[in-house]
Structure 1
């Protein structure tokens, strides 16, 4: 590999040596994520993982893929690239844990205008941190230099994760019933959704993102870059402790799109709006952008990054398990009979 060089390719704008240097720099971050099951080294054509299926009668693989979206534009404007990788992992693993699956491994993809090994390694450091938080391994990835199609400082970060769950333990809406309790798992802020509207409202291309905002208790840039919460460990603990009938990751589409995805016909998830604990960034966004409340709840998580619907008899056990893993969950509402799958009262 050290002898690999193409002057012609370099003249076209692709520096393959920079790619090799990026891999060298990211290795120490990847090593933090290694867990039992990893049977390959970084740099191969495929990442190998041997899952432990002991105790499972019918192991099922669950996959999820996503990106960071235009939130990464904030990172580019602030020249701060060590947290968006957490967002990338979160958007994938938070999806697959909704069916009760434990994430096993993750792979990332970075498209970048000009390959800056230090920047790429910093991006991967965030991905590695996200994997550590989720308890999964970073077993591979790809960095692609795109001269002429992307500006030199631009990049796009995406990835996917694979998890596993016993078929008999998949979270199924068929067990949901009237009287179940809806729990709110707090978000850290905007997470990674609705940033096209965020960028428009705050005019981020011209705003001073480093200016301290009293209302937020931070700079605007810091608030906008706050990483997405990774809920894997508290959710798996709650599943083990309680009778869980439905889980929704509140992403793009907010409450109105995501909560109904786990609610069967004939039932309604009744959410008490007054119970929602909403961080200041949402109030500021709504006021500055003059955004109707309905649109806010139909676009953003409003402070609730995930909802969990549990049996009333085991709600306290679920709350205890979530809180013991650092998630300050609270009761958000209940399940009633009805035609609309979600109602905000």
Structure 2
């Protein structure tokens, strides 16, 4: 008998089964703006523009990085999709945009419908948390390209903001204050260094029970990235936020300076919050210098807000009432761009 696509390594029937398994989760993210179901060549989305004077679309794209290695090792796949959504929606949120819709791309060597369904379940959960519709995606079965049991994820989000409400950081001035919103752990960056420190250098097992951690080591590292959309959008309805920085790869040292005008720097006081135990464990395991930790990891702060000092008490009170752990972590001062952030 001759070859067919399945014998060559691509199972179309498995792909169809995966679509059936994910349909309910995907459709749970739909609002009245979604005009198509699964299976179309493109996703149609009709936004309600009535509340915008001059609407601007804001887009962002990202992946999950080597955090996927943990999902493979532990065979846990229902949270990694939350990370995928969070990395993009938190980025566009930094410009004041409300996420509208999200699309994902999943590539693997051999499609496993049940595993695919678990991944998409997480993506749908992240979309619902951020108010975005999961209007499309692509599942690519690429035989021989990926190792058995492994896959890669990418995605992008599109949001909307009124032009005069776009947050650029241009209004930040000396004397403004920096509020930090607590992270849920590593989120989705720094995992190459974390794995090298914990597993290669220190020799921990992925399922090790470590004092001070609520979960085993692998599960602690897999805690999904926090989505800040609801919190920040609620704040924007009441207060002026001069700048927002999503603390991802590059940590506080690289990300907060991205929104500062020339001639200004941020002075961050590290004694204003306590990083989670997992960061201390990584630092000790890898004998990592403190500045390298703050340049690689979020160190317990997943999002920063730059505000007018006169709004400090009201914003902190509002955040507390919303259930957020928020800290006054720093101040904007005059300074050269090459020293745009100091951690003391």
TM-score, normalised relative to structure 1: 0.95
Q: Distance in 1 between matches of 2:271 and 2:143?
A: 50
Paired with 2:109 and 2:204, the residues of 1 have a C-alpha distance of: 24
Counterparts of 2:146 and 2:193, CA distance in 1 = 22
Instruction: Indicate if the aligned counterparts of 1:74 and 1:204 stay in contact, CA closer than 8 A.
Output: no
For these two proteins, the number of residue pairs brought into alignment is 340
Q: Using the alignment, how far apart are the partners of 2:244 and 2:177 within structure 1? A: 12
How many Å separate the matches in 2 of 1:320 and 1:52? 32
* Among candidates 250, 257, 261, match of residue 258 of structure 2: 261
Q: Note the 1:315-334 alignment, pairs <5 A.
A: 315-334=312-331
Contact kept, 8 Å, 1:229 with 1:305, in 2: the verdict is yes
Match of 2:211 in 1: 214
Q: Calculate the TM-score normalised by the size of structure 2.
A: 0.96
Deviation at 1:7, TM superposition (A): 5.9
- Looking at structure 2, the residues matched to 68 and 54 of structure 1 have their Cα atoms a distance apart, in angstroms, of 35
- Tell me the residue number matched to 1:305: 302
**Uncovered stretches (5+) of structure 2, i.e. residues with no partner:** none
CA drift of 1:332 comes to 0.6
Matched, 1:20 2:26: no
Q: What residue is the counterpart of 2:293 in the other structure?
A: 296
1:182 corresponding residue in structure 2: 178
Q: d(CA) in 2 for partners of 1:27 and 1:320?
A: 41
SS at match of 2:280: helix
Q: CA deviation at 1:164?
A: 0.3
Q: Partners in 1 of 2:245 and 2:98 — Cα distance?
A: 16
User: What's 1:3 paired with?
Assistant: none
* Residue 66 of structure 2: aligned partner: 70
1:59–1:164: 8 Å Cα contact kept in structure 2? yes
Cα distance in 1 for residues equivalent to 2:320 and 2:149: 41
Distance 1:187 1:73 in 2: 21
* Counterpart position of 1:148: 144
Deviation at 1:207, TM superposition (A): 4.4
Deviation >6 Å, runs of 4+: none
Equivalent residues of 1:238, 1:319 under 8 A apart: no
Root mean square deviation of aligned Cα: 1.5
Q: Secondary structure of the residue that 1:218 maps to in structure 2? A: coil
1:211-290 paired onto structure 2 within 5 Å: 211-290=208-287
Q: Following TM superposition, by how much is the alpha carbon of 1:34 offset from its aligned partner in structure 2, in angstroms?
A: 1.2
- For residue 72 of structure 1, give the secondary structure of its aligned residue in structure 2: helix
Is 1:158 matched up with 2:154?
Answer: yes
* Shift in Å, 1:316: 2.5
Q: Does 1:101 align with 2:100?
A: no
Residue by residue over 1:153-206, the C-alpha shift from the partner in whole angstroms, topping out at 9 and shown as x without a partner, is 010011000000000000121211111110000000000001111111122797
Q: Describe the superposition over 1:91-144 as per-residue Cα deviations: whole angstroms up to 9, x where unpaired.
A: 000000000000000001000111000000100000001011101110110110
Aligned to 1:9, which of 5, 8, 32?
Answer: 5
SS of alignment partner, residue 315 of structure 1: helix
Q: State yes or no: 1:198 paired with 2:184.
A: no
Q: Deviations over 1:208-250 (max 9, x none)?
A: 3223212213200111100000001101111222111100000
- Tell me, yes or no, if structure 1 residue 83 matches structure 2 residue 79: yes
